[in-house]
Structure 1
Amino acid sequence: MDLSVDFPAIETLTVLKLRWCKFEIPNNTPKGLRLLRTLALMKSKMHNAWDAPTLECYKCEGFVRILDFSSVDALKEAKLHYIQNYNWRYYDSSNMVLANMVAYTGVHVLSTTNIFLEAFKERYIEGEMRSPIFKFLNLKEFYILFKAPNLCTLYHITEFLKRSPKVEKVLIDIKKFTFEPGTLWIIHQKSYMESSNYEFNSIKEVTIDGYKNHCHELDIVEFFCGHAKSLKKLKLIMPKNVKKRARGLDYARLDYIRSRFPGVKVEV
């Protein structure tokens, strides 16, 4: 639906939530949206950039789109639930995710999907294989929702957390997803992680929601218990649907992890 709004007439607007809309902010709007604190867009498209000096919370659900924020110095929370666009045969969202990245580097709370993490994959930059460099120095809470198709593993999660030295709370949502690490994990990523000295000094709580006792999920549990020095609680939430608990609980490995790291309370 095309939405026609006279933004100068609603200059006191603080919350704007739109679903399935297309709208445009005129370039000659000196006052409109200057007090906006929350912007939520669900499968909506916005044209033109605008200043958002008071924006504290931005929520986006749908395909990745480039949104050119001119000023988001007050932004504290971002919910970026990107979904894959199957209608574009050669669609690669990574460049568009990176184009918006600067706006989110100062947030305290970030909730997103694996599409966001995939943007940090190694690529040729100035003739060398490198990952994009962004740091999230204020981030305290990180929530990641995994959806198929997905190439992410524990490697991608930890590489992102290395950019976020103040994270205290991590939630990994795999209720509708099962990790199936491929050749890249087996040959390169796993050996790289085993030879690297990871150390996270701020993470206090980790939750895996949708835990099904698969091998890679246990790798994640063991990694955080061993490398998150401030970790006190690691919570595993199993699916309510019993049929999804195909492998049952691997008590032997869980008990082994608990015995190695008695300072961490692993709850199932």
Structure 2
Amino acid sequence: MDTPERPPKKIVKREYRRQPRLPRNFNINLPEDALDRIISFLPVKIGMRTSILSTRFQHSWKNSRILDFDQREMERSIFIKEVDRVFDLHFGPIIQTFRLNFIQIGVESYAQKWIEKSVEKKVEEVELNFLDAAVQFELSPEFFNIESLRMVKLNHCAVDLPPLLKGSTFLKTLVLKGTAQVSAAFIETISKHCRSLEVLEITRCRGFSKLKILAENHKNFKVFKIGDCYDVADIEIVSPTLRSFHYHGKLILINISMAYQLEDVLFILSPTRQYIQFPLARGFLSDIVHVTVLTTTAVFIEEATTNAFSDMNLVMRNLRELQLFMQGSKFCNIYDLTCVLTNCPNLEKLFIDMNGFSFEGGHYWVEHHKQLFELYNVPMIKLRLIKIKGFKHQHHEMEMVKCLLQAATSLETLILVTAKSYRATARTLNLGTLESIPHSWKSSPNAEIKMYHADRSRIDPTHRAKTWFR
């Protein structure tokens, strides 16, 4: 039997739009000084590469305003010669940024020389990363008398103030990291003297137990971050313009005064086996009760928040976004979570990171909190987004989801991201599906429930991680 012939395919002509091409003799018709100025704003490495494009650019890099050097990319001897060459040939009147990543072993004189040459050309931004943690680079006390400084970032540098501090008037950003000995007087003087200061960040520094940030007369001080400074036991902040406060470490005494504009707080407590003092946590909570964004740990919640809310009648009326990291908690149960949410009546976004944590279901839960949780019936009329990471379909997690779905009367989206260790089991038992969550739990009929085995939601909290430093 003959097979029927197939009809010939219809040939469709596609129209291609020709992209405009530059003529071969195309040239940049800009004055020489204009080109030099444009290239001067490029990092020196990129500026040097332009010298091979045309003879016009052969010396333009020597006017570069951004000098960025990284010893990790070459041997030390070659690196020193290269940096010396750039400084010797640099004829521009201004160096805006000097950035140095340097393994400092017996070559302090070179680094000091490069800093001095940058200062001579009115450097505004200085970032020094000395990669050998065992040796601190001793920065000259007169460094902070440089009037042109706008931003200073120091990693593993020993710092001190000159006998008479006259400079740093226009300093806006100061970042100290890995400083072995920094005095409380240094930080207090800088925060008080530098009236233009906007950002102060102190990470992994030692040498002070009590810290004062006195910025009551500042008009622009907005951000203060302190992390892993384990010598500190007492922090006092006075600032009417402070908007963002980040803390990572053990629970200490923190007193924030006059912070009327404070709206963003990241407060991460390190897990500890020691008894946590309730008054410390309660006092801090009363200072931040008016914030709009809060990221914290369940350690803080279980030890202080529920007691503070009940004993002090604290209500966080302005809170719009709450993120909880549950890892490290000892006794936190789902009733503790409801106590927190009850006192956040205008909450719109809730993020919970389980990260291997399982809610406590022991004797105290059975005897005291279980009945109270079953009676919980407080609507959360503003809550529109809930995202839970590390979800494992455990009984108490399902009870938490049920409670949230019933309370959130205006919920738009619930996102569940399963735990990595649980994903294979979820697929095998067919638990990682939406069928495991009855629609009858929803008090908001239009609420959309999404479940992922890997986070593809593209919906993230304000603070994407516990720490802002490495």
Cα distance in 1 for residues equivalent to 2:430 and 2:290: 39
Residue 278 (structure 2) pairs with residue 98 (structure 1): no
Secondary structure at the residue paired with 1:97? helix
Residue 436 (structure 2) pairs with residue 258 (structure 1): no
What corresponds to 1:59 in structure 2? 246
* Aligned ranges 1:42-121 → 2 under 5 Å: 42-44=227-229, 45=232, 49-86=236-273, 88=274, 91-118=275-302, 119-121=304-306
Q: Report if aligned partners of 2:334, 2:359 keep a CA contact under 8 Å in 1.
A: no
What corresponds to 1:126 in structure 2? none
Cα distance in 2 for residues equivalent to 1:188 and 1:249: 34
Change (3 A) 1:46 1:189: closer
Q: Report if aligned partners of 2:234, 2:253 keep a CA contact under 8 Å in 1.
A: no
Change (3 A) 1:26 1:208: closer
Q: Report if aligned partners of 2:306, 2:340 keep a CA contact under 8 Å in 1.
A: no
> Counterpart of 1:200 in structure 2: which amino acid?
M
Q: Which moved more, 1:192-201 or 1:30-39?
A: 30-39
| Displacement of 1:251 | 6.6
> Counterpart of 1:265 in structure 2: which amino acid?
E
Residue 220 (structure 2) pairs with residue 41 (structure 1): no
Secondary structure at the residue paired with 2:305? coil
Residue 199 (structure 2) pairs with residue 15 (structure 1): yes
Higher RCO structure, 1 or 2 (CA under 8 Å, sep 6+): 1
Q: In the TM superposition, what whole-angstrom CA distance separates every residue of 1:84-106 from its partner, at most 9, and x where no partner exists?
A: 333x4xx2232211121221101
Residue 417 (structure 2) pairs with residue 237 (structure 1): yes
Match of 1:165 among 342, 345, 352: 345
Match of 1:2 among 147, 163, 181: 181
Change (3 A) 1:48 1:146: closer
| Displacement of 1:115 | 1.7
Cα distance in 1 for residues equivalent to 2:397 and 2:215: 51
Q: Is there any run of 5+ residues in structure 1 with no aligned partner, and where?
A: 124-129
Cα distance in 2 for residues equivalent to 1:234 and 1:266: 5
Cα distance in 2 for residues equivalent to 1:57 and 1:174: 25
Kindly, what percent of the aligned residue pairs are identical? Answer: 22
Secondary structure at the residue paired with 2:268? strand
| Displacement of 1:131 | 4.0
What corresponds to 1:127 in structure 2? none
| Displacement of 1:54 | 0.9
Q: Report if aligned partners of 1:11, 1:31 keep a CA contact under 8 Å in 2.
A: no
Change (3 A) 1:101 1:144: same
Q: Report if aligned partners of 1:120, 1:131 keep a CA contact under 8 Å in 2.
A: no
| Displacement of 1:260 | 4.2
Q: Which moved more, 1:55-64 or 1:95-104?
A: 95-104
Change (3 A) 1:235 1:256: closer
Match of 1:195 among 363, 375, 378: 375
Cα distance in 1 for residues equivalent to 2:436 and 2:212: 61
Higher strand share: 1
> Counterpart of 1:117 in structure 2: which amino acid?
I
Q: Is there any run of 5+ residues in structure 2 with no aligned partner, and where?
A: 1-179, 452-470
Residue 411 (structure 2) pairs with residue 224 (structure 1): no
Match of 2:322 among 142, 148, 153: 142
Q: In the TM superposition, what whole-angstrom CA distance separates every residue of 1:53-100 from its partner, at most 9, and x where no partner exists?
A: 1110000001011112221111001000011333x4xx2232211121
| Displacement of 1:252 | 8.8
Residue 454 (structure 2) pairs with residue 267 (structure 1): no
Match of 2:391 among 198, 207, 211: 211
> Counterpart of 1:76 in structure 2: which amino acid?
E
Higher helix share: 2
TM-score, normalization by structure 2: 0.50
Cα distance in 1 for residues equivalent to 2:441 and 2:235: 55
Q: Report if aligned partners of 2:233, 2:252 keep a CA contact under 8 Å in 1.
A: no
Q: Report if aligned partners of 1:258, 1:264 keep a CA contact under 8 Å in 2.
A: no
Cα distance in 2 for residues equivalent to 1:204 and 1:234: 8
Q: Report if aligned partners of 1:34, 1:52 keep a CA contact under 8 Å in 2.
A: no
